[in-house]
Amino acid sequence: MVSVSIMPCTAKKEEILRPESSTNGKQDIDYVLTTTELIGMIRKAGIRFENLEIEATDMPFGIGSGAGVIFGVTGGVTEAVLRRLREGHNRVEMEKIKFSGVRGEEGLKEVEFDYNGRTIRAAVVSGLGNANNLMKRIQKGEVQYDFVEVMACRRGCIMGGGQPVPVDPESRIARSKGIYDTDINTQIKKSNENPLVQSLYDGLLKGKTHELLHRNFEAAGK
């Protein structure tokens, strides 16, 4: 088996080579292609999607959740976590999360949310400069959060280093809209309720989640 990841991120090319990205001495991901590289390959091969027959996605990748989709925008991970904390799928509660301040292009967003009578404080930061400033404030004790989401690129993965350039305000808005429109059209809103993900955790990943999925990175040498 050869594993190829298609990513909006150029940093993933280096990340897969780090020792932390190996299991039992074997590299987990064989190759990384950026979305821009994939587009170039498709064009070079002369593939035209309008001429292809419609085909279902191979399992176990045929079913996705809205929460998984919105990971691509800044604040998406936090919104997915807040959905997970809510029981059921009450539309009013989902709208509260949507308008809690978790969405938007700002480099730093602060969100407060009620969870069973307790106020959850979260920070959503995108752009490493903004992340560095926030970490300094946290270290000084100026601010305190229950949860902090960090994305290296401003506005999240939709603006990743491996994405097509140049990008104007219109295309930035279109990318975010595409993510949220896809979320609206998904039947499953929470990542933990995806039946295929549940089957993976109950089967292949059972007892191995920490070994295979969790990574603690050490400072890389220059």
Residue 32 has φ and ψ, to the nearest 5°, of -125, 130
Most distant CA atoms of the chain, gap in Å:
58
Omega cis (within 30) before 60: yes
pTM confidence score:
0.86
Average pLDDT per block of 10 residues along the chain, 222 residues long: 93 92 90 97 95 85 88 94 86 87 93 90 96 96 95 94 91 94 91 89 90 81 66
Q: Give pLDDT, residue 222.
A: 65
- Beta carbons within 10 angstroms of residue 45's beta carbon: 8
C-beta of residue 77 within 8 angstroms of C-beta of residue 83: no
Question: Please, is 196 exposed, middle or buried when counting C-beta atoms within 10 Å of its C-beta (0-12, 13-18, 19+)?
Answer: middle
Q: What pLDDT sits at residue 123?
A: 97
pLDDT reported for residue 25: 87
Phi, psi of 202 (to 5 degrees): -85, -15
